A and B are shown apart, each in its own frame.
Chain A
Amino acid sequence: MSQQSEVTDSLSGMTLFADLSAPQLEAVAHTFEEEFFDEGTRVLRKGFAGSGFYVIIEGEAAVQLDGKVIAQLSRGDFFGEISALLNALPTADVIATRPLRCVVLSGEAVEGFLLDHPQVALRMLKAQARTLRNNTKWLS
């Protein structure tokens, strides 16, 4: 099996892309770029312009703020979408804590991609809602 098919298969198993048809998944696999980051490599940099939207297809990463780990990320998780959507600088670093394979879309392309794939936008919104609920449980 070719690696392109592996990327497509990998995306097809993710909640974020669960509503896409096979040709749409194929197009997504061609639209995003695959990147590899060795353990310890910084993927997203706090305060740096021009960052991208990342979806993890293999490996693990940590969200760090001033050296302190504030979240762990693994396969199927995504990051960088807030900077992309708000056209704002990232407020934390993301660092590979194990060899990390991601598919990446440039920040500028995210809004257009979500408008073209509203099912993905809805899945992303639900994921954000879950994160918000978990972070505000103390209120209830």
Chain B
Amino acid sequence: MAELTDRPFPPGEYPVVVVGTGPGGLQTSYSLSQLGVTHALLSADEQPGGMFRRFPFFQRLITWSKPYAPVEKYERAHEWYDWNSLLSDDPACRASVIEFMDGTSYFPSRPEMEKGLVAFAERSGVIARYGCRWEGTARTDDGFVLSTSDGEYRCKTVVFAIGMTEAWKPEIDGIDLVPHYVDMKPPKEFAGKRIFIMGKRNSGFELADGLLPWAKQLILGSPRPAKLSIITHSTSGARARYMQPYEDNALGGGHFVIDAAIERVERTADGFRVHTEGTTRPGAMVFDVDEVIAGTGFATPLGDLPAMGVTTFYQNRLPAQTPFFQSATVPGVFFAGSVTQGSIGLKKYGIPSNSAAVHGFRYNARVLAQHIAETRHGVKIERPLIEPDQVVSYLLDEATFAPELWNQQSYLARVLHFDRARGITDEGILPLQHFVDAGGADGVAITVETDGTGDIHPALYIRKGGTAEEQLLPSNPLHSFTTSQHHAELTNALKSLID
């Protein structure tokens, strides 16, 4: 670990500064290095891992890494089956989380995840200045000055990979009396208690599921009905593995999941009184409980960035971003990691990207690094030529196997440009929103999408004369999009570009 404990990147001037050594910062730094972009990587922590050095509270992730998958562990297509390891050009650095998993679950434990991230940093040579806390930001004529606990860093480009782990609470009378998820006591201290959990998203359900062996009674409450991942076809819904409290509610087992606006919380002699007003079933409900916990979600610790002009949304919890993860309002400020869910994309059928989790944002980081390298550092990235008779097979293989398209559905796309003089070039993986809205050369983008019924199929976007049109290809029960029907439909769709 010598290279991790040394203190590289002293204060000074760097072309790019990356803040944060969670998976988003590590992936960005690695990808920038592969492209030859000099940068400083700074971290307030003492070692890699970011939020996984502490969370999830109940020490088990909700993102899978399958030790035995339909494809070999170190192949690119395997990334669809391993949602937690970071991406590397070197097979020896891939699938770094899986090797630490002990076989008790295909969801890694928090320590297994942390070990996998440390191993990635070590093996891929990602070095950072640890123990260096970003404290403030100022704009200069041609860039930024970052104040840190170690001194000032000047740069033209800054990437904040600072996670979304700051406690966030809605405004409710008395909520200050209530601890947040991030301030949880050890579970055994809840033994035999009646507990009200505010919130019915994943953090609320994680708390409820973890407290089942301890609590006398659990009540989960929030204004809208719980959205479940198996119903919404999205990881943004409450995940199946936390559904035991919900089943308990459905079976009348003594725990409750209610839809109610929480009006106020009061202290009582031996606990709390929670006043609520039903939403799907109107009427006042009052709960006398021993404990209340706010599982109300998280915010990005943006520090002084909003004061510098970075526009936020989602109750000020996320910075608004362009398709290439740049602040929508302050050029030169970029984001990586879970904060990139602030770049919304098309959000077709209401399904968000997977940018809130490693399996989504690791690809965002690679796209971001290429964008910074090309547009701000003059790095030329090769665009391979593709023979016209290979185009259809290539695109259908991508739709069937490309982990970028499966992990970031309707969000990242494989893009080809068609130019009569240069031929057909592979432009790589790009944000779909950029392809369909920014105009540009004639070309095609292919994505995988899940629609509102749960049907998974390839979606094609053909851009001619700067305007993109959508064409959906058929689904397949085994998700193979390389059938003769797919070949015929795609060949026909591309005629206007190839002829």
Q: Measuring CB to CB, which residues of chain A are less than 8 angstroms from any residue of chain B?
A: 1-7, 21-24, 26-27, 29-31, 33-36, 38, 41-42, 45, 47-52, 99, 101, 104-109, 116
Contacts and interface: CB of A to CB of B under 8 A. Distances in A.
A27 B315 contact: no
26 contacts: A2-B315, A3-B315, A3-B316, A4-B171, A5-B171, A7-B315, A22-B261, A23-B277, A27-B279, A29-B223, A33-B314, A34-B314, A35-B313, A38-B328, A38-B329, A45-B346, A47-B469, A50-B346, A50-B348, A50-B410, A50-B452, A101-B313, A104-B350, A105-B350, A106-B452, A116-B280
B344 A35 contact: yes
Contacts of A38: 311, 320, 322, 328-329
Contacts, number: 104
A47 B312 CA distance: 29
Interface in B338-382: 344, 346-351
B314 A23 contact: no
Contacts of B473: none
B356 to A, nearest CB: 13
Given A38-B328, A49-B451, A106 B313 contact: no
A10 to B, nearest CB: 12
B259 A27 contact: yes
B315 A30 contact: no
B344 A108 contact: no
A104 B351 CA distance: 12
A23 B223 contact: yes
A31 B232 CA distance: 13
A5 B346 contact: no
B311 A36 contact: yes
Given A38-B329, A48-B348, A27 B261 contact: yes
B349 A107 contact: yes
Given A3-B316, A4-B315, A47-B470, A23 B261 contact: yes
Given A1-B171, A23-B261, A30-B223, A50 B449 contact: yes
Given A2-B315, A23-B279, A49-B472, A30 B328 contact: no
Contact of A2 (B170, B348, B437, B449): B170
Nearest to B201: A30
A107 B469 contact: no
Contacts of B277: 22-23
The 7 A-B pairs at the shortest CB distance, nearest first, are namely: A106-B350, A50-B348, A3-B315, A36-B313, A108-B452, A2-B171, A23-B261
Interface string B306-336: 0000011111110010100000110000000
B170 A5 contact: yes
B313 to A, nearest CB: 4
B224 interface: yes
A35 B321 CA distance: 11
Contact of A48 (B171, B282, B344, B470): B470
A50 B328 contact: no
A3 B306 CA distance: 14
B234 to A, nearest CB: 10
B88 interface: no
A35 B451 CA distance: 20
B223 A26 contact: yes
A21 B320 CA distance: 31
A107 B452 contact: yes
Given A41-B437, A50-B452, A31 B224 contact: yes
Nearest to B312: A36
Given A2-B170, A3-B315, A48 B350 contact: no
Nearest to B322: A38
Given A22-B261, A33-B350, A36-B312, 5 more contacts: A23-B277, A27-B259, A36-B311, A49-B348, A50-B346
A65 B89 CA distance: 45
A126 B490 CA distance: 44
Interface in B216-267: 222-224, 259-261
B179 interface: no
A71 B326 CA distance: 30
Contacts of B171: 1-2, 4-5
